[in-house]
Chain A
Amino acid sequence: MIGIASANPNAGSTFNGTTLPRLNDLMLSSDGHAFDPKTGRSYRLNPTGLLALQLAQDGQSEQEVISQLAARYAQHPAVVTVSTETFFSQIKRYLP
């Protein structure tokens, strides 16, 4: 399960056909805290969400993110694809 545990954020890159132009603006800390410097909002990410965002900010494509998450958590890529699409749709709502 990929997700934001509470609160909300914002983002840039293309995931699930959606462009997230401010994805790289998010300030991520290793403990799962994400801060959007534009809105001042903070979010708490679970470890999977944090890894997905870190991979995306590193410039990985959607397929690469899915592949790495599937390998890391020993999940079928189809399962990871659904969760990843849902996660980045959620991110888009938070990143105006």
Chain B
Amino acid sequence: MSARSDSTPWSQWTVAVTGINARPENPGPGCAVARCLSEASGFRGRVVGLGYETLDAGLYHPDDCDGGYLLPYPAAGREALMERLEEILRHDHINAIIPSLDAELPNFIALQGVLAKRGVRMLLPGRPELRRRDKDRLPELCAQAKVATPRVRPISDARFFERCTRAEEGSWTYPLVVKGVFYDAYVVQNPTEAAYRFGQIAQTWGYPVLAQAHIAGEEVNLTALGDGSGALIGPVMMRKQALTDKGKAWAGVAIDDSDLLAVGERLMHALKWQGPLELELLRDAEGVLHLIEINPRFPAWIYLSHGVGRNLPVALLGLMQGVAVADLPLAAPRPGVTFIRHARELIVRMEEIVSVSMNGATLPRCDPIAPRLRLIA
């Protein structure tokens, strides 16, 4: 297949988005990314959802995605992913993919060159940059960027948590945070609770499990784009106002914090990141910002970027096509704009479920070649 995307403006691309599950307590970012594209006034292309399970809501939501396909789980490896993408590309010309889940990044990074030859664009960090923001390596990165971050330690033996109350373990005392390499984090108060969460995370995500010193404070987040130069492009900052049981934002408000912005700029300068990212930080009682995590993708609250006039998924497409940063449609910060997440039922016909379950693809909704006309607000 030739690289047709070279001459097609990004506003007419077919864009595939992953991470389109929409579990209320912890939704993937994909549906929000898709909605940012679907509702962008200048976008006349198509959005295709790439899911992992038949019940991934983004496959069926006509306002978000124009259709979708199932992918093999990331653990199946890059060959399995490429084989599946080859099959999808035989049916649907995809100009760009926006991976939206942490665990799939290594596979997509490995396939970036092969997919580029088929006209499929992505803007992703390199493997070294991805590794540098791993949770167990944040102290090293933060030392370079002069950003505070709590101590972290890989744990492979739950007996560590029994020793945390003893003097010989230094300042590893409760409460502390037990977290997985990719997902999940729990604040634990005692060895019993810590051992339970350790087992739970190890069973779900494997080893090592991480122990991180607990910082009391309020969480603030920053999402932005990088182009590999070290510049922080289109930062959108948010303070969580309401949380799900998993600590995910249920409501949040856009902020304009010069301290947070400076931290973001230093981290981006140190990382030379390429693609979307999210910084998660805690502000302690003294106002010091502590970096907790760097997520290598858009956050689930990315729709707020559309709400504040900085539609980062759209800006990402622009960067993929070589649009200069100064020409990206990025409005001035609009602090005070709030989002409230809500869950709604989506009615899906049996034929649609059957199609995804049996064929790994949604039923055709429109001509895959002709871009869908969209209402422009």
Contact = CB atoms under 8 A, between A and B. Distances in A.
Question: Are A and B subunits of one complex?
Answer: yes
Interface of A: 27, 35, 37-42, 96
Contacts of A35: 335-336
B255 A39 contact: yes
Contact of B257 (A27, A39, A42): A39
B270 interface: no
A24 to B, nearest CB: 13
Nearest to B258: A38
20 contacts: A27-B335, A35-B336, A37-B255, A37-B256, A37-B257, A37-B335, A37-B336, A38-B255, A38-B256, A38-B258, A38-B259, A39-B255, A39-B283, A40-B220, A40-B239, A40-B241, A40-B253, A40-B254, A40-B335, A96-B287
* Residue among B257, B258, B335 with most chain A CB within 10 A: B335
B6 to A, nearest CB: 42
Contacts of B335: 27, 35, 37, 40
Top 4 closest pairs, chain A to chain B, by CB: A37-B335, A40-B239, A40-B255, A37-B256
Interface in B220-268: 220, 238-239, 241, 252-259
Main secondary structure of the interface of B (DSSP, over half): strand
Interface string B164-188: 0000000000000000000000000
Contacts of A38: 255-259
Contacts of A39: 218, 239, 255, 257, 283
Contacts of B256: 37-38
* Residue among A27, A39, A42, A96 with most chain B CB within 10 A: A39
Nearest to B338: A40
* Residue among B218, B252, B283, B336 with most chain A CB within 10 A: B336
A51 B220 CA distance: 31
A40 B218 CA distance: 11
A68 to B, nearest CB: 28
Nearest to B257: A38
Nearest to B286: A96
Contacts of A41: 239
* Residue among A37, A41, A42 with most chain B CB within 10 A: A37
B240 to A, nearest CB: 9
Contacts of B259: 38
Nearest to A96: B287
A27 B336 contact: yes
Contacts of B239: 39-41
Nearest to B218: A39
Given A37-B257, A39-B218, 20 more contacts: A27-B336, A35-B335, A37-B255, A37-B256, A37-B333, A37-B335, A37-B336, A38-B257, A38-B258, A38-B259, A39-B239, A39-B255, A39-B257, A40-B220, A40-B238, A40-B252, A40-B253, A40-B254, A40-B255, A40-B335
